[in-house]
Chain A
């Protein structure tokens, strides 16, 4: 069948930020959906958002309330959300209470009542909240099945997009015939992990289009439900082919070690123990970017933006002007109850807002600590997804990570995230001549011919300054306790000042 022959399924906006991306661009028109989950998981709010986003005077929404939360209280609370527009009631959105019919009659009467109202109003959207409360007696289960089957058939014929809302526990998901009728099944979960609440949304099924699989975190704020796609809304974006352009650190010697600078679109990890100058390097990287007209984002977790800016000023780097010009944003992300995906969404939003080319995450340890404990287990996976998504659109990311200094090991990161990084720059202390000095080395540079040299550097009032030539007089430098060999640079070695072997 050619594309021309296929029926076109219109996609309706869900009204829930982030959810359109998750459901594959919008909710299929005329679909029959179930929103399931435990009480308090946000089912009604989600349905309201859909209703307010789609109802119009010409094609109104009918919102049938059954038993459970009283309609007056529901409206009292729901109108606190910013999406709630009272002017839409009752012209575009009609709330119809069916509790009396449910209490006094049977499901057939409920169906008849819904049918009557639908035929009268010709609605675009129908919600039944909560259909589960209509049957509490075990023998009614079959009636419910039949009720839903007939309701689904009727509402589809009347060109209505429908949501049934029901309280279901996790274990009820399996082999439930009611769910087979639905075109879409939205499951909302809410669990307590340590001291925080973790909310997750799963599209268990959605006929007719691809949804993003997996569990997506969501939050309920005064704007209603906000979902955070696991793919951060970037799945549709085409990956940019590598430009081959090199980005400077503003430190000529370091750029040389990197064969001309960091490749655009790379993810760089700067690892080192406390005080080795990771943040200084990161600041120099972002400042050089803004100096060259490349907008940047700095996500800080351990100090406030003002302090970060002041520290840059003390190094002779101007971060104030690019911030005023809208070329630089310093994000301070420290609330302790964030999900990893929404933190990353904040970064992504900032990146997209100013068209950032460089992003600094300072530091990964601070990032992890800013998350709610329940989300820390997802940190590595989410970080991977964000780095993949951002580098794919050409953003160059520099992350700093603190590693415990050891004199027997040379770790690159405590997160086992080296595989996420194209380039790793390792900073460390060494004990030389009764001094604690600092060395740096490029550990890896994916697809690049980086220097093998171990270089000594200092942090001065001008930032990181790489000193002299490579350290040839010492052996076992990376152990942190090198041995003096007394061997100085030979003329041959001097010719390798850049530390980069000429390509054959």
Chain B
């Protein structure tokens, strides 16, 4: 396993959970718009896809899914398409159901792994900068990066 952590770093888990909570909260105030995991994932895909390209994001997301699946076996049915979209969980793309009720902490773990990869490749400052751009209303600080340095 090339020395990577067997579980997502706690700081990344916390950060992922904050983003999921944020999206869940945003959904409550208006019409439901889908699962928080999908919303977080899609925002990351849009934000990262712009500069790494669809293929670049697809590679990162596939790696994140591979790292996350042993921790959350429910993710084993998921796959990342060529355009970076996440498929295979729930019935359809819009009925995304990888949150706690279906696969335990799968959603948080997948997002945590993705964030961990970003931090690993781009560093804390740049990752924070990208996250703040994607979630301008959420106060994202560097506290979450203090725990561990692995994906």
Interface residues of A (CB under 8 A from B): 65, 70-73, 75-76, 79, 86-87, 89-91, 94-100
* B55 CB–A CB distance under 8 Å: yes
A contact face: mostly helix, strand, loop, or mixed: mixed
Nearest Cβ in chain B — how far from A55, in angstroms? 14
Known contacts: A75-B122, A79-B122. The answer to whether A87 contacts B52 by CB under 8 A is: no
Contact indicator A97/B53 (Cβ below 8 Å): yes
Is there contact, CB below 8 Å, between A90 and B56? no
Judging by beta carbons under 8 Å apart, are A100 and B55 in contact? yes
Tell whether A97 pairs with B129 under 8 Å between CB atoms, given A72-B121, A79-B123, A86-B123.
no
- A90 CA to B47 CA, complexed, in Å: 10
Q: How long is the Cα–Cα vector from A79 to B125 in the complex, in angstroms?
A: 10
Chain B: minimal CB distance from A87 (Å) = 6
A-B contact pairs, 23 of them (CB 8 A): A65-B51, A70-B52, A71-B53, A72-B51, A72-B52, A72-B122, A75-B51, A76-B122, A76-B123, A79-B123, A79-B126, A86-B123, A86-B129, A89-B129, A89-B133, A90-B130, A90-B133, A94-B51, A97-B51, A97-B52, A97-B56, A99-B53, A100-B55
Summed over the interface, the residue pairs from A and B with CB atoms below 8 Å come to a total of 62
Q: Are the CB atoms of A94 and B129 closer together than 8 Å?
A: no
Residue numbers in B under 8 Å from A73 (CB-CB): 121
> B126–A96 contact, CB under 8 A?
no
Q: How near does chain B come to A116, taking the closest CB pair, in angstroms? A: 13
**B112 CB to nearest chain A CB (Å):** 18
Is B121 a contact of A99 with CB atoms below 8 Å?
A: no
Chain B residues near A89: list those with CB within 8 A. 126, 129-130, 133
Beyond A95-B51, A99-B56, 20 extra complex contacts between A and B, CB < 8 Å = A65-B51, A70-B56, A71-B53, A71-B56, A73-B121, A75-B122, A76-B121, A79-B126, A86-B123, A86-B129, A89-B133, A90-B50, A90-B129, A94-B51, A95-B50, A97-B49, A97-B50, A97-B52, A98-B53, A99-B55
Residues of B within 8 A of A79 (CB): 122-123, 125-126
**Are the C-beta atoms of A94 and B52 separated by less than 8 Å?**
no
Residue from B47, B49, B129 within 8 A of A87 (CB atoms): B129
Q: Which B residues lie within 8 Å of A71 (CB)? A: 51-53, 56
Are B55 and A94 in contact, with the CB atoms below 8 A? no
Q: Nearest residue in B to A70 (C-beta to C-beta)?
A: B56
